[in-house]
Structure 1
Amino acid sequence: MANILIADDEKEIIDLLKLYLERDGTVIFEAANGKQSLEVLEKEAIDLIILDIMMPELNGFEVTKKIREQSSIPIMIISAKIDTTDKIFGLELGADDYITKPFDPLEVTARVRAALRRNYELNQQQRQPEQIVVRELTLDMGQCLLIRQGEEIPLTSVEFKVLFLLMNSPGQVFTKEQIFEAGWEDSYVVDDNTIRVCISKLRNKVGEHNIKTIRGLGYRLEK
């Protein structure tokens, strides 16, 4: 049974999502603003947070930044802000997904299931201490860490999934569809902006020279 926090200053949105998500047996916690959401996270063992951007006290971007300073909990932003720049900014701060309002609650439920499944699988991997080494890069499966030249670099769950795909088969070219399916477990909708942001963040962590763009095909990790 998963604990999900819904942070939104519109009670109608919380009630709608709660109606659908509770059908899966999840326990729903509520927050009406950014400050309350952080207080809930301190007190409860939350497995995923659904976060609005435009909230009083602290907005969703500020909350995402604060959470990412200490946790890799899945963050799903649901917002009326539809500009691509807002979406990219949210993903760059560390959000795992970004859905615009108005939304289909069935789609949100499906994405929540996928995010929880990814996080569960990641936790299972963490119980099996293994390492994948490619040149100066070491992916520590036990700690969900990238180690580069002795420096420990934390990864979000999506970044870990994508980097595992690349490092597990260095030199192999992976299409955007394959990367999206590995990181987000959605093969039917490929979001180019989401992939570009993820690859850009990974390049900052592994080194620009280690991930190569193959024009018209996808990406590969250099051997």
Structure 2
Amino acid sequence: MSTETAAVDNAPHTPAEAWRALQDGNARFIAGEKLHPHQDAQRRMDLAQSQKPFAVIFGCSDSRLAAEIIFDLGLGDAFVIRTAGQVIDNAVLGSLEFAVQVLGTPLIMVLGHDSCGAVTATKNSVESGELPTGFQRDLVERITPSVLQAKRSGDADLQDMVVEHTKQTAARMLDQSTVISGAVARGEAAVIGVFYHLADGKAELVYSEDPEIRES
């Protein structure tokens, strides 16, 4: 067996296994005991011709939300997509579909975080009635439904709005992509929403339709 095949065979293969691997990495990060796995020259060589990441992490572009660091990952482990406020557009959906359909990635994580600047800007716009200029307006308009839903539920706190937006983003990709929803229906993939706490580094599960993941 080649080293490349061994690397793939040792990776998580199911959504629940992938989530446990990410939880373990996050626990190491919190404890300051990171292993920095899969970051050596051999790993680089093994992945030169192909990749098979076990997770897609679609997160906010915030500089404090570096997925490979907070989950203690290495080369080839995660397919990472980032936009401000983890806002979905067609390019994001195409990238997510590529990871699921072509790379066979079993887990999609939507990663939000407290004190999110994009959600803060949206909250301010909703409350003031004033929209930002330029393409920032597009971000605010896409996040507005989540802020309004949080307000309707009585959760006017910014962090509750981020959690609501994380949940809605995860649900929205299932509604908009038949590739992703089909993989989920067949049990080949799962979509989860995770809320990251900047101060303590904890990644908290806030959305999952997979019972095995919810109970983990």
Instruction: Please confirm whether the aligned pair reaches a TM-score higher than 0.5, indicating the same fold.
Output: no
For Structure 1 versus Structure 2, the TM-score category normalised by the shorter chain is 0.3 to 0.5
Higher RCO (CA 8 Å, separation ≥ 6 residues)? 2
Q: How high is the TM-score relative to the length of structure 2?
A: 0.33
More strand by share: 1
